[in-house]
Structure 1
Amino acid sequence: MSASDSDHETSAPTPAAPASAPAPDASKKRERKPRRGQGLAGLALVLALIALLAAAYGGWRVWRLQQGGAEDTRALSTVQTQLKSLGDKLNALDQSGRQLQQQTQAAQQQGQSLSGQVQSLNERSRSLENAVAGLTARAQSGHDAVRLDEAAMLLRMADERFTLFHDADGAMHAYAMANRVMAEVEDPAYAAVRQSIDRERQALAATHPGQRQSDLDTLARLRGQVDTLPLKPLDAPVEQTGNGFWARVKHAFAGLVQVQRDDGVTPAQRRLAQTLTALDLAQAQAALLAWDPDGYRSALTQADQRLQRDFDGHAVAVRTLRAQLAELRGRTASPAPELGAALSELNNLRAVHGAAMPAPATTSDKGVQR
């Protein structure tokens, strides 16, 4: 409600009291006049209270409206201030957005430039990687070439030591060294060569080189003992049989009279028997060195027959030597192992790899120089 409405309410005319009607007579007029005055007074009081309440309500409404208007004014002022601040912030954000847009454009241009540089660096990096890969391949190839040369030399030396000097122990040692050298080769294509080397080394080990060397030493020692062995006597010794008179006479004259047989065996021929026996033992040595099992057994058999025929079978030295020959004949001589397959396989693989290897490229070197 506005102030004008309240004023209108407060200024509204109060209803006029009704005019008193003329009394017919004075007594009735005196009786009704007090009652009518009291009613008017009460009505006027009620109207006054209503008017007062209306005025109070109007004043209160006016005061509320004034308070509400002040608050609205302050709120409006605050809103205007905030709007102004927001406008300033929007202007600042607009300026910042334009600056950011400019910076973004500059960053895009710089990014394009950096992208070109990165692409160029990638190309150079690939060129460097190709160059390093080429150098690594060359270094690996050189390393493998040196190791393969060393392994081939060791295998050739093992073959020559076994073929020329019959040195199985030395050949086995050379094969072991070649196997260690081949283990350092990084190319997996040469793994089969190591298997061949191991097979040939096992074949050499199956010949029991230690036992062979012991047999050779035994034969050499027996050859030196042949000259000291007693030969078989031409006549058997006279055995004294009985203790009679004639036995004692025969034994007494046995030292004075000796009867010898002339069977054609001279001292030179007896010496020849010793030499031939030594030659039989030397032939057994040669057959053992030459990996000839049949010749080895034949030579030992012939030496034993000479000992039985030409030497004193009752002598301890002769019986001991024949027992040692029998022990040597009882051991089976191993055939010669076949060597050289590993070396041939290594040479063939190197020839194949050398033919398949491409020529070194020069693009990587140009990439490095660039």
Structure 2
Amino acid sequence: MSETVVRATEADEPLKKLKQKMDNEQQQASTKKPSQALAIFNLLLIIVLTVAIAAAAYWLWPQWQNMQQQSADTQQLQQRISAQAQQQQNTEQQILNTLSQNQNAQTRQLEQQLTVVERQLNLAQQQVATELQVQIQALRQQVQTKDSAPPRHWLLAETEYLLQLAAKKVWLEYDFATAIALLNTAQEKLIKLEDPSLVLVRQAITEDIEQLSQLSSLDLTQVHLQLQQARKSTLTLPLKQQQTEINTVTKPEVTLKQWRQTLDYYWQQTWRNLFIVRSAVPEDYFSLTNEQQLMLRTSLSQQLLLAQLAALEHNNAVYSEAIQQADNQLQRYFDPAAIAVQQLQQQLQQLLKLDVSRAQPKALRSLGQMQQYQQQLEESGL
């Protein structure tokens, strides 16, 4: 019986080993299933991420290249605009220098012309003075040769000389006031004679006095001095100024995340350099450089100098135009609130009303009548 039990036990031993082996395999299979599923999930996740990264790169890379290209184009455009602005500034500076040199040359030329005119006037005055001295000497000689003549002839000779002197004052010096005084003196001497035969001469003297009284005698020396003083004041007159402030935009940091802000910044900078937008101001307000201020002062002084020359030459059209141009420049470019500017403007308005053209009087009849009367006396032997 014991042998039977032993044999049964030995016969069951392979079954137990096979069952144990199957149990082990089942346990191993149960442990392998979760690990394989995790590996497959990881593999799928990697594949999905790879595909997503590839798709994102395929979509974003052209945009990144486009943004880089636009940024490079913007920088090139900004460099070209800066170069053009610098070139334009250099050109404007050359133009300003050329205009300044031309204005200086014109000013020197006008000053030389003024000097020549003044010299001519001085020479003319000296010639007139010399002629008057010669005539006075001749009159003295005539008086000395007629010492025995009655006082009537002396008065007639003095009257004729006064009439000659009045005619020269009118035609050579255009000094109407002195000519009127000389005619009045001659009239008084004829009144002392109480001679009815002199009525035609006295009537001609009266007509000449009335004619000259109607002509306005302008003091050109006073006009010249006023314009010269106005030229000196142009160096200190205050100009209009208007300073404008331009808003600046801070440059953003160039990063991939802020590419829109960066592109917008360069776009705004490009258009801001081309067109500067600011608040509207009156058209007469300017922001002037030192060269431009000097040009404005020189231009105003040049117009006043031209008015001086025109006044000395009795050219009323050029004189009025120069004064009007100077007044326009004064109103447009200089500060109207300054007292000096207001005073100069009032002075220019007064000078503009003057007529510097030379008056053209009619020929004096008194001298001819007096000479005709003297000839009649010589013919009659009186």
In the superposition, the TM-score normalised over structure 2's length comes to 0.42
For the pair shown, the structure with the greater C-alpha radius of gyration is: 1
Between 1 and 2, higher relative CO (CA 8 Å, sep ≥ 6) is seen in 2
In the superposition, the TM-score normalised over structure 1's length comes to 0.43
